[in-house]
Structure 1
Amino acid sequence: MKLSISELKLRADKLYELLESCTLCPRNCRVNRFTSKDGACRTGVKPIVSSFGPHFGEESFLVGVGGSGTIFFTNCNLSCVFCQNWTISQMHEGEEIEVKDLASIMLKLQRMNCHNINLVSPTHQVPMIVEAIIYALESGLRIPIVYNCGGYESIQTLKLLEGVIDIYMPDFKYGDDEKALKYSKVTNYTTIAKSSLEEMFRQVGPLKIEHGIATRGVFVRHLVMPNDASSSERVLELIASVSVEIPVNIMAQYYPAFKAHNHPEISRRITHDELTRALKKARELGLKIVS
């Protein structure tokens, strides 16, 4: 964290202003979130949290010995038909809390010896998160902040997070806009995800790992889907076009969750060959593969 408390407060104020006619993410719903929850994320101006705790299933450089201090935020700015956390992202599973309670969660995770605060699906709750970080910093928060998102981000919002976020961990879900619209209900995904990644990389640079633990930087996750529903090779080309210094975790754990069975082409797990093709393409492009 490089910003002073006074600068952080200014950033939080600017982020809250975006909620008056919400343009916090690229959906640009223009809903007044101080009076309505009718936007795509169905969220007002208070944090909504599903669960929190040390997580040992993340990348090794996030987990370390003490785990990654994950906070799962309820709702999402994507509507993925195959979401593995659909009860949280689309069925509103969680509790609306006060901002100071969110700060207390961050401090509790630090006391539990977590190596970082891992904000899962934070995009639609950024103002409240930044305000909570202020309270937490004033009470001794010192571990890195991880922004664990779906890659569909507003450059305006990301610029207000410069100096706040230590590690960006976006998904890059699709290399084809038609597939993004079909499976996640968002438009112009590839251009937006690439621009977002460029801004993240500008802010924090390549991933830095000290004593086995990530301290700063950006890396990308990509979930390989059956029948190339994610256009994996194009995704990897787009990542490499930003920088081959950006590590990528090519994930094989897809399974047909939530409404995926309504789409026959994604109603099965991936094959070994499908994963192998993606890994081969990443190596050909000179990308570092992490896990």
Structure 2
Amino acid sequence: MLDNCRICPRGCGVNRISGELGYCGQGAVLTAARAYLHAWEEPCISGEHGSGTVFFSGCNMRCVFCQNHEIASGEVSKEISAERLVEIFLRLQEEKASNINLVTPTHFVPLIIPALEAAKRQGLHIPVVYNTSAYENVDTLKALEGLVDIYLPDCKYYSEKLSMRYSNAPGYFGIAMDAIEEMLRQVHEPLFMWEKKAAEDDRQLTDMFGAIEYNRIIEELSDDDYSGPLMKSGVIVRHLMLPGQLSDSKKVIKELLSRFGDKVYLSIMNQFTPYGDLSAYPELLTGVNASEYEELIDYAINLGIENGFFQGEGTDSESFIPAFDFEGL
């Protein structure tokens, strides 16, 4: 998969083994920027102790507004072996991570697969999260079947004009929707679990429950006894609202609900933070209008959304951006 790279829809065809770099900016060696317990994912992903997150370097999207542009561009990266990645997975599990969260892993799939297989042989048992832009080839996703428990894709744009302007990603919406379809085929409808705080070991869990029970159980759980529901398997689709793009966001939400209904969770986000040099994109400098975000949430509710996460105020802050300082690598 690396000597004629067509892992993602870019289809660069470069020989990464010989040292050529594709659109993602990466060769045939794993690189990352941080691996730690991350607290700022959706509640059912972060849990009480945090999501065991590995931020890989490089990206096949390279969005102009990316908050993680330092690692997406490959400017910040540290080489790690597959063996070291296995050690990282197992260490995060020992630190009581809710899951293993692979952030921007697409371009490293052929290298991550053997690491996951080895880690599972050595006792990795917490869920594995694949955190992606959804600009994915279905065949690449099929290679992950049985290794990934939770898919956490974006659905960034409906408009081809926007996907080209901000990500140079032709055909983004159709590709993302087909990718999400494949993700859902693999992991099925959302399934949750909750863990007793007094558990003697990480495997001591109570009953599993489906998405229809999630909100009721959230209200009934005792904070004294439980750390809260965690996602065991399923798909959460994220949509980050962009400044001035209420109409496009409505189209994204409508299409997701029409195609997938309550089989996936939607995470509708307002945390866009103007970051880096956006002088060529002045329309992005204003941030997301609060009233437009509220209108988008009302729109989703009126469409009948059953399973979703919304964000409150104060999320558009650089304080939520991790320090990419090679911690945990």
Name the TM-score, length of structure 1 as normaliser.
0.91
1:7-26 map, 5 Å: 18-26=1-9
Q: Paired residue for 2:308? A: 289
Report the more deviating stretch, 229-238 or 174-183: 229-238
SS in 1 for 2:192: strand
**Structure 1 position 88 matched with structure 2 position 88:** no
Which of 271, 276, 281 is residue 294 of structure 2 equivalent to?
276
| Whole-angstrom distance in 2 between the partners of 1:19 and 1:192 | 21
Higher percent of residues as helix: 1
Q: Paired residue for 1:120? A: 103
Q: Paired residue for 1:251? A: 269
Q: Paired residue for 2:278? A: 260
Q: Is the 1:224–1:230 contact (alpha carbons within 8 Å) kept by the matching residues of 2?
A: no
Q: How many residues align?
A: 274
Among the aligned pairs, what percent are the same residue?
38
Q: Paired residue for 1:165? A: 148
| Whole-angstrom distance in 2 between the partners of 1:129 and 1:71 | 11
| Whole-angstrom distance in 2 between the partners of 1:69 and 1:24 | 25
Q: Is the 2:157–2:172 contact (alpha carbons within 8 Å) kept by the matching residues of 1?
A: yes
**Structure 1 position 129 matched with structure 2 position 146:** no
**Pairwise CA distance, 1:276:** 1.3
Q: Paired residue for 2:257? A: 240
SS in 1 for 2:110: helix
| Whole-angstrom distance in 1 between the partners of 2:60 and 2:247 | 18
Report the more deviating stretch, 281-290 or 59-68: 281-290
| Whole-angstrom distance in 2 between the partners of 1:167 and 1:35 | 33
Q: Is the 1:282–1:289 contact (alpha carbons within 8 Å) kept by the matching residues of 2?
A: no
**Pairwise CA distance, 1:114:** 0.3
SS in 1 for 2:165: helix
Report the more deviating stretch, 144-153 or 275-284: 275-284
**Pairwise CA distance, 1:238:** 2.0
Q: Paired residue for 1:79? A: 62
**Structure 1 position 153 matched with structure 2 position 136:** yes
**Pairwise CA distance, 1:230:** 8.1
**Pairwise CA distance, 1:259:** 3.2
Report the more deviating stretch, 132-141 or 97-106: 132-141
**Structure 1 position 38 matched with structure 2 position 17:** no
| Whole-angstrom distance in 1 between the partners of 2:276 and 2:19 | 27
Cα RMSD for the two superposed structures: 1.3
**Pairwise CA distance, 1:68:** 0.4
| Whole-angstrom distance in 2 between the partners of 1:149 and 1:230 | 24
**Pairwise CA distance, 1:161:** 1.1
**Pairwise CA distance, 1:123:** 0.7
**Structure 1 position 196 matched with structure 2 position 214:** no
| Whole-angstrom distance in 2 between the partners of 1:92 and 1:192 | 28
Q: Is the 2:59–2:72 contact (alpha carbons within 8 Å) kept by the matching residues of 1?
A: yes
| Whole-angstrom distance in 1 between the partners of 2:251 and 2:150 | 24
Give the counterpart letter for 2:6 in structure 1.
T
Q: Is the 1:33–1:45 contact (alpha carbons within 8 Å) kept by the matching residues of 2?
A: yes
| Whole-angstrom distance in 1 between the partners of 2:24 and 2:75 | 10
Q: Is the 1:179–1:229 contact (alpha carbons within 8 Å) kept by the matching residues of 2?
A: no
| Whole-angstrom distance in 2 between the partners of 1:242 and 1:71 | 31
**Pairwise CA distance, 1:124:** 0.6
**Structure 1 position 27 matched with structure 2 position 10:** yes
Change in 2 beyond 3 A, CA 1:141/1:162 = same
Q: Is the 2:26–2:74 contact (alpha carbons within 8 Å) kept by the matching residues of 1?
A: no
Which of 25, 30, 33 is residue 50 of structure 1 equivalent to?
33
Question: Unpaired runs of 5+ in structure 1?
Answer: 1-17
SS in 1 for 2:37: strand
**Pairwise CA distance, 1:266:** 1.0
Q: Deviations over 1:123-177 (max 9, x none)?
A: 1111111111122112211111000001101001011111111000001010111
Change in 2 beyond 3 A, CA 1:229/1:33 = farther
Q: Greater Rg, structure 1 or structure 2?
A: 2
SS in 1 for 2:244: helix
